[in-house]
Structure 1
Amino acid sequence: MSFTRISAAALISIAILSGCASTTAATAKTEAVSSVKIAQADERVLGYFNADGEFGQEKTSNGYMRKYLGKTADGKSVLQDFYAINGKPQTSPFVLFDDAGLEDWNSLQYTDGDIVFYNADGSVSARTSLQDGQYVGKHTQYHGNGKVFVEEVYNPDSEITATSYYDEAGKPLFAFHVDNSDDYKVTVQVYDAAGTAYPATEDHADKIDAVTETIVSLMNKRAATEAKLAGQAAPEAQELLLPRQPEE
């Protein structure tokens, strides 16, 4: 299953929903047994995806295998994806609310519930929760060493309300947050090497540029490492434009 990441355009569009970062160096936890309950077991291989996400019945060494595991008590299909290179899980079992996602690599849009993504070496790459194909609650991506790279928070309407980026040591880099408790307030911050927070305003443009460069470097390093583990070519380099603190 493909894993949607926040794009530069998305960050710009949600700049008015922006946050504060915690300095805790959270890490990916070892995954317990899946919480998905299968009422009607029916395990079989549905087919294969190549590295570009095209579905078919031919297995490619650097692609993926999709298994059908059965149905939940309310008749929803349960799937799981695996790496072709070594047979290890690429996802935890996940539930479709619409079978239009059976052969779709972008099946997050048809998924309900919690899902964990793994690298080909078995480490946790990301975890998220979905309702009717939309993010709710926390959406977390991890560095290769298991520490949190980016953590996003979504409200029940799937509106993003906070995002925090961290380096590989767990130090905060950038954050935005919206506080709706009383008066609507948006906070956007960047952090220097000492962990000091600065408002992401034009007065601190140099710090914003430095943090952007660091995040982009980490983002592309992470993507290249994950592709290499899966036996795939490194993807094209990504870019990022961070939002600024709104003027009062």
Structure 2
Amino acid sequence: MKKIILAIALSTTLAIQAAPVAQNYAPMAVEQMAQRSQTEAAKLVSKTESRVVAYYDKDGEETQMESKGGFYRMLLGYTADGRAVVQDFYQDTRTKQIDPVVMSKDSDVKDFSVYASEGRTTWYTPEGELKNYVVIEKGKMLEQGYYRDGKLRLLAHELMGQNKEAWGYYSNGQLFMYAKQKANETEPHILMYGKNGNILIDSQKPLDGEPVEEAVEAAKIYFDLMMEFDLY
């Protein structure tokens, strides 16, 4: 999933064409995304159990008791087919670090790899702000989204064995980047948009002069988001 986002950095061509490509996977606002996660989480537990599995320090090392800056994992219960449902909390604020998530069938409840889970995992800051989420199905990442200041900024989606797509958004929610890679292709088709919706960069078009200032600005926004969300 990272590859399709990183590949945007390889695009150096310029064109001016048509309208932005919409996505129908993730809500643009954090409130909608959080509500979706909460609704999904409420349906997870069939057999209730509530206990602390383990405590961890700020570096993620397991400890015998709580420590400043650390977090802890709760076992909330089990699904109808016996899979553990867990949730992590910040120790200092007692706020949720993630929404409840289902572990895959044979995973250890202390396994923090997203691939040890099944379905959606959603992360929050200690202040309760939604940061990002991933969707795992049968050990494969199908979707990941990143939010900042209440808005969706990056999204990547992949259908099993089919197309991969990625979207990037300005702070006002307007699209600035779209990339699509078909299953039989080695490189994605990348488009970068200006603030009026025109295409500034098209990876399938030859270079025609120097990139305009708006294209440089869009590229900078992209790289800033990549750095912020640690996607390198």
TM-score, normalised via structure 1 length: 0.70
2:156 is matched with 152
2:99 is matched with 92
SS of residue paired to 1:175: strand
2:129 is matched with 123
Q: Show structure 2 runs of 5+ residues with no match.
A: 11-19
SS of residue paired to 2:207: helix
Partners of 2:115 and 2:231 in 1: CA distance: 24
Is the contact made by 2:4 and 2:164 (CA closer than 8 Å) also made in structure 1? no
Partners of 1:190 and 1:11 in 2: CA distance: 14
Is the contact made by 1:76 and 1:97 (CA closer than 8 Å) also made in structure 2? yes
1:12 partner amino acid = A
1:162 is matched with 165
In the TM superposition, residue 42 of structure 1 has moved relative to its aligned partner by 1.7
CA shift digits 1:130-151 (9 cap, x unpaired): 1123222x4221112x111111
In the TM superposition, residue 67 of structure 1 has moved relative to its aligned partner by 0.5
In the TM superposition, residue 72 of structure 1 has moved relative to its aligned partner by 1.2
- Structure 1 segment 45-194 matched on structure 2, within 5 A: 45-106=52-113, 108-136=114-142, 138-144=143-149, 146-157=150-161, 161-178=164-181, 186-194=188-196
In the TM superposition, residue 101 of structure 1 has moved relative to its aligned partner by 3.7
SS of residue paired to 1:11: helix
Partners of 2:51 and 2:163 in 1: CA distance: 37
1:12 is matched with 7
Q: Aligned Cα RMSD in Å?
A: 3.6
- Structure 1 segment 187-226 matched on structure 2, within 5 A: 187-198=189-200, 199-200=202-203, 203=207, 206=211, 209-220=216-227, 222=228
In the TM superposition, residue 91 of structure 1 has moved relative to its aligned partner by 0.9
- How many pairs does the alignment contain? 212
Q: Show structure 1 runs of 5+ residues with no match.
A: 1-5, 224-237, 241-248
Farther-moved stretch of structure 1 (124-133 vs 207-216): 207-216
SS of residue paired to 1:22: coil
Change in 2 beyond 3 A, CA 1:49/1:202: farther
1:79 partner amino acid = V
Change in 2 beyond 3 A, CA 1:84/1:169: same
In the TM superposition, residue 10 of structure 1 has moved relative to its aligned partner by 6.8
Identical-pair percentage: 19
Partners of 1:109 and 1:179 in 2: CA distance: 24
Partners of 2:5 and 2:60 in 1: CA distance: 23
1:140 partner amino acid = G
- Structure 1 segment 16-27 matched on structure 2, within 5 A: 21-22=21-22, 26-27=28-29
Partners of 2:163 and 2:128 in 1: CA distance: 29
Partners of 1:111 and 1:216 in 2: CA distance: 29
2:115 partner amino acid = Q
Partners of 1:63 and 1:26 in 2: CA distance: 30
Is the contact made by 2:7 and 2:188 (CA closer than 8 Å) also made in structure 1? no
SS of residue paired to 2:218: helix
1:39 partner amino acid = S
